[in-house]
Amino acid sequence: EEAGTLRSGPDTMANSIAQADEAGFLAQGPALLTDEDVPSRDSGARELQVGLLRDAAWRRSLHAPTWTLFGIAVGMALAISLRMQQPPSAATLAMATSEAEMVSKAHGDKTVCSSPGQNCLESKCCTDGGDKGYQCYEKMNGYGECFPEGSCKPGVHKGEKHGVWNASGVFVLDSWSCKEVGKKSKRGCSSYSHEGCPTDRCEVVAGAKCMVKCGTMISTDACQDHAHCMMDGNTCKSACWTIPADTCEAVDRCMLHSGNCTTACHAHASEDRCPHKDACMWQDGRCVKDPCSAPGEDCSKTHCCSAARFAGGMACFQKNSEYATCLETFDSDAHADWTGKQLGNRTKFDKGCSWAGEDCSGTQLCCNEGFACAVKDTHFTGCVHAMEVSVWYKKPIPLPAGWNGKRLGGWRAEYQMAPALEGNQAGTSLYCFMAVLPNSPEIDLLNVAREHKTSIFACDEHSVFHSQKAEISQEFGTLANTAVFLK
C-alpha cells in the first residue's frame, strides 16, 4: 500500500502485474531456501519469510483471481521494500589478495581508482595489481567490483548472500552481468621480476623484490598497508629497513640500532608506536632516544639502566671489556667468568609522580599530599602546595602570586604495589618501627604483636621507641603529636 501498488480497479492491478513482470519479480527463481539458508532480517520480515516458505497449503488455496492479484501486489511491495543494498560479498573480497597494491592513484581526470572490494562503477577504473591487472565488472545497475582480468563469470557467484524476494516468496540471489566498465589496470609490481621492474611506478626493494613505489601512494592507509613504506609527515616514503646500513644515519627519519637501519624515535607520533625494542622511550609527550639500556642490552657504553624500559632497580654489571648488561644483583657463582664490576649507579624505581617543587609536566601527578601539579608559566609546571589536608577537613590554599594556575593533576594517595617475585630480589627488605608510650595500654598491644609475630615483628628488621605524652591542640581540638616522632 505504501508502495502505491494496492489501488482499486482492474486496470490498475493489470498495470501492477505488468510492472512486476518487467522488473523481474515474477521470474522463476532458484529453489526455495531453508530457514537456515535465508539471510537474516529484522524480526517482522523474518516471521513473514518463514510463513511464506512453510505455509504452502495457504498459497495453494488462493485460486480466486482477486486474491492472486492481491498476493502478487503484496509480494512486489515486499520485494521493493526489502531490496538489499550491495556491499562487497565475501566471495569478491576474498579475491583481493596481497598481490593487489591498494594504491590511490590519480588518473588523467583526477579520479581516484577503486581497489578490489570497492564499488568501481563511479570511478570506472581499478588500482594496479594482480598478475594481469584488474578490470571493473558490473554486477547490476549501481554496483560493480574490480576483479583480475578475465575472472568474472556471468551469473550468481559462489558465496553470494544478497538478493530480493519475489512475489512467490522466493529469495532470488543477485547475479553478475560481468559487463566490463572502463579500461583494465596495469599489472601489479610484485608480478614482475627485479630485472623487469617498471621504474615509473615500481621499485626494487632490498635488491630483490619489485614492489610498488611508495611515492605513488597519496593516502596514509595505503602507505601503511605496505611493509616497505612508511609515512614521513604527509608523504609516503621508503621504510628505513630498506635503506642500507652505511647510508642509514644520513636519512633524518631513520637511525642505526644494533647494526640495522630502523625508524628513528622522533618519527613515531604516539606513545603506543614508540618502540622500546629500538631503545626509544616516551617522555614529555614525544618519543625520544633512551640514553640508558634495557635488560638484555649492552650497557658498556651507557653505564646506566633505563627505568622507562623496565630496568628500574637495576645496575650495569660488566662481563668483560666488550659487554655489560643490567642486572638486579650480581651473583658471582652464576657469572663466574664475569668481572662483576658495576658501571654507574643503580637506577631508582620510577615512582610515577613528582615531589614538591619538581617539574611535573611529564607525570602530571604529585607525590606529596595536598600538592597539585600546576602551570606556573610557559617555562615551568611544578608541584605546589594547593590544599591543607587533615583527617577532618580539606582547606584550599591559594597558589603563589604570578602562577598561571592551570592544574594538570593532584596528589597520589595510597596505592598497591605489585608483589616482589620469588627469590632474592633487590630492594625487597622492609624495616619497621613503632613508638609506644611507657606505662600505657600501648605496651600490652606491643606484647601481643611480638607474641604473634605480627605488625613490626613481621618485617625483616624492626625497632621499638618510647614516645611521650602529647598535648591537645587548642586550634584543631586533637592531639598535636608530630614532635613525638621526631628525634
Three-state SS letters, the chain:
CCCCCCCCCHHHHHHHHHHHHHHCCCCCCCCCCCCCCCCCCCHHHHHHHHHHHHCHHHHHCCCCHHHHHHHHHHHHHHHHHCCCCCCCCHHHHHCCCCCECCCCCECCCCCECECCCCCCCCCCCECCECCCCEEEEEEECCEEEEEECCCCCCECCCCCCCEEECCCCCEEECCECCEEECCCCCCCHHHCCCCCCCCCCEEEECCCEEEECHHHCCCHHHHHCCCCEEEECCEEEECHHHCCHHHHHHCCCEEEECCEEEECHHHCCCHHHCCHHHCEEEECCEEEECCCECCCCCCCCCCCECCCCCCCCCEEEEEECCEEEEECCCCCCCCCCCCCCEECCCCCCCCCCECCCCECCCCCCECCCCEEEEECCCCCEEEEECEEECCCCEEECCCCCCCCCCEEECECCCCCCCCCCCCCCCCCCCEEEEEECCCCHHHHHHHHHHHHCCHHHHCCEEEEEECCCCCECCCCCCECCHHHHCC
* Confidence check: pLDDT of 378 > 80: yes
Q: What would the mean pLDDT of 14-25 be, rounded to a whole number?
A: 40
pLDDT tens string 199-255: 999 999 877 789 999 988 878 888 888 889 998 888 999 999 999 999 998 999 999
Give residue 366's pLDDT band: very low, low, confident or very high (50, 70, 90): very high
Looking at the chain, the whole-number percentage of residues with pLDDT higher than 90 is 51
Least confident of 83-92, 277-286, 303-312: 83-92
Q: Is the pLDDT of residue 24 over 90?
A: no
pLDDT at 271: 87
Indicate the range of 212-216, 363-367, 478-482 predicted with least confidence.
478-482
Residue 143 in this model has a pLDDT that exceeds 70: yes
